[in-house]
């Protein structure tokens, strides 16, 4: 069985036959937007919200879409239907198109290329919940403010992840030029102090993750105390508990930051309660 199923502009391929032009602007310049989500029993998780953010990202980088929202959704559903797996990861990519003149001018590009890459979801390793993750801080060189678009520009995150793994950590916690914590390289980050849940403000340059949004909604419905505010490295080093969230990972405890234990150094009780509550919550969506 093929590991991946890929839809390129409506045609399905396995990983060996999926090809795209070397003149595609996403390949040449990172001139693209994307979304990453998953299915639960063949149902794409909050797909309308992901499409909202895809269109938001396209608007932010002035990427004119030649695919309609309806067409994109139909191709996503077509790909899910063709997959042999019930629970799959999906990466939905829209590039500005191909440009055989190698110029930067967006007007020289053709229609968008829409690529949907899927693979089976693999369960999180057991040790993530029994031991927790180790993370380090990484200072960002860029100074974005406000909710971020999801684009093909990912080099800073790649280098931050590389920095973490070379130092024996799982991932980096990004810190903006104002000294405020923002997120992980592919996740949102949270801390708990005195039974209050905290997560960095979108205005500090944070991706408005769909799992983040879902958790905030869940907290509100369950009368949990939650604040979106600017947070510093010192705040996280003094936290009782810490965890990351993403659509594919759900909630994962962070137990070590910069080599120092978070709280008692074990996955937090409230974090694990939130994970259970979250899984029950999304099963009803």
| Statement to judge: residues 232 and 159 lie in one domain | yes
- 228-266 per-position pLDDT tens digit: 999 999 999 999 999 999 998 999 999 999 999 999 999
| Statement to judge: residues 141 and 244 lie in one domain | yes
Query: What 3-state DSSP class applies to 207?
Result: strand
- 173-228 per-position pLDDT tens digit: 999 999 999 999 999 999 999 999 999 999 999 999 999 999 999 999 999 999 99
User: Which of 98, 120, 142 is the last residue before a domain boundary?
Assistant: 120
| Statement to judge: residues 88 and 141 lie in one domain | no
Helices and strands, counts by H and E, the chain:
8, 15
| Statement to judge: residues 225 and 113 lie in one domain | no
User: Which of 120, 151, 179 is the last residue before a domain boundary?
Assistant: 120
The DSSP letter of residue 222 is T
| Statement to judge: residues 162 and 100 lie in one domain | no
Residue 278 maps to which CATH number?
Answer: 3.20.10.10
| Statement to judge: residues 104 and 198 lie in one domain | no
Task: Report the b/e string of 54-84 with b at 16+ CB within 10 A.
Answer: bbebbeebebebebeeeebbebbeebbeebe
| Statement to judge: residues 136 and 85 lie in one domain | no
| Statement to judge: residues 110 and 221 lie in one domain | no
Q: Is residue 234 packed enough to be buried (19+ CB in 10 Å), middle (13-18) or exposed (0-12)?
A: exposed
Virtual torsion, Cα 32, 38, 42, 48, nearest 10 deg = -60
pLDDT band at 146 (very low <50, low <70, confident <90, very high): low
| Statement to judge: residues 13 and 58 lie in one domain | yes
Block residue for tokens 């380090």: 136
User: Which of 99, 120, 141 is the last residue before a domain boundary?
Assistant: 120
| Statement to judge: residues 191 and 114 lie in one domain | no
Residue 112 maps to which CATH number?
Answer: 3.30.470.10
pLDDT band at 152 (very low <50, low <70, confident <90, very high): confident
- Which two structure tokens, joined as six digits, stand for 169? 């950590």
| Statement to judge: residues 216 and 137 lie in one domain | yes
Which pLDDT value is given to residue 108?
82
Question: Which residues constitute the domain of residue 242?
Answer: 126-283
Name the domain count of the chain.
2
Verdict on whether the full-model pTM lies above 0.85: yes
| Statement to judge: residues 145 and 275 lie in one domain | yes
């Amino acid at each position: 069985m093929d590991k991946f199923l890929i839809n390129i502009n409506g045609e399905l391929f396995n990983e060996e036959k999926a090809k795209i032009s070397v003149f595609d602007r996403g390949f040449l310049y990172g001139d693209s937007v994307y979304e990453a989500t998953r299915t639960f029993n063949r149902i794409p998780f909050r797909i309308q919200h992901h499409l909202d953010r895809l269109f938001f990202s396209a608007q932010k980088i002035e990427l004119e879409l030649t695919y309609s929202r309806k067409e994109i959704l139909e191709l996503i559903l077509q790909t899910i239907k063709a997959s042999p797996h019930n629970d799959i990861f999906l990466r939905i990519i829209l590039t500005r198109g191909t440009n055989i003149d190698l110029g930067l001018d967006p007007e020289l590009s053709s229609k968008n290329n829409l690529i949907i890459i899927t693979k089976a979801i693999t369960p999180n390793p057991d040790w993530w919940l029994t031991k927790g993750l180790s993370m380090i801080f990484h200072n960002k060189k860029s100074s974005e403010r406000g909710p971020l678009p999801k684009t093909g520009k990912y080099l800073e995150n790649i280098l931050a992840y590389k920095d973490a793994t070379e130092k024996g950590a799982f991932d980096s916690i990004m810190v903006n030029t104002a000294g405020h914590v923002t997120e992980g390289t592919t996740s949102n980050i949270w801390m708990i102090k005195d039974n209050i849940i905290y997560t960095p403000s979108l205005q500090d340059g944070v991706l408005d993750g769909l799992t983040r949004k879902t958790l905030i909604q869940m907290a509100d419905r369950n009368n949990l105390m939650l604040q979106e505010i600017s947070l510093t490295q010192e705040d996280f080093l003094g936290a009782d508990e810490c965890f990351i969230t993403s659509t594919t990972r759900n909630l994962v405890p962070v137990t070590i930051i910069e080599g120092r234990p978070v709280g008692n150094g074990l996955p937090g009780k409230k974090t694990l309660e939130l994970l259970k509550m979250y899984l029950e919550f999304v099963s009803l969506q």
